Structure 1
Amino acid sequence: MIKDLITGDAAKEENKVLKIGIDNLKSQVSLLDMNVLDLKKQNTNLEAITIGQKQLMEIYKDDAAAAEKQLKKEKTKTRVYKVTTVLAVIGGFILAISN
């Protein structure tokens, strides 16, 4: 009978230790679940940032193309202005000489 009591007490102690171990494992699983959720959230945020950056790059490309087109127009206007100015000066000089 004493042997059964000692065995029962040992089993109770072992049960307490096992319950503590189970509680610790549950805590670890909970922490790991939280980490997984945080990583998923970070991944979602990074994907959103990547999409935003791609959209910005498209906007920059469009703006750069528009600016380049505008620059070509301005260069053409400047060339036309220079040529017409030179022709006007030459025409004025010719008129001045012919009178």
Structure 2
Amino acid sequence: MLTRVDPSSFQDQDLVIDAGAIFASVVLLLLMLAFTFNRILGLDQILIKAARTATARREKEERDAMQKDKMSAADKRKAAISAGVKAANAKRRRLS
């Protein structure tokens, strides 16, 4: 059963604003606008290009680091081989 309230009873009260509901509505509205303008202004293509560039740069840095490690390992092997050859030559000279 509904109870009818006299409209004059609300005249003495201030306007009550629910801050949580307003905040949520504004956030959702801004989110919808961001997604809309993202497609309209072509920002999605700019962001995709920036992400690809960053990924490519990171992969290049990783490849360069791996190549540097391989080169240093090869240099160490060459140094070890030349040290072994020098030691063998010195041993031969002592024996001769």
Report matched runs for 1:1-99 at 5 Å.
Answer: 5=37, 6-7=40-41, 10-64=42-96
Alignment TM-score, normalising by the size of structure 1:
0.56
Which protein is bigger by CA-based radius of gyration?
Answer: 1
**Higher RCO (Cα < 8 Å, 6 or more apart):** 2
Higher helix proportion: 1
Instruction: Give the share of equivalent positions with the same residue, in percent.
Output: 10
Partners of 1:11 and 1:57 lie apart in 2 by: 68
Unaligned runs of 5+ in 1: 65-99
Aligned Cα root-mean-square deviation (Å): 1.6
Give runs of ≥4 in structure 1 deviating > 4 Å: none
* Pairwise CA distance, 1:60: 0.8
Alignment TM-score, normalising by the size of structure 2:
0.58
* Pairwise CA distance, 1:61: 0.3
Q: Deviations over 1:13-51 (max 9, x none)?
A: 100111011101111110000000000101111111111
3-state SS of paired residue (2:78): helix
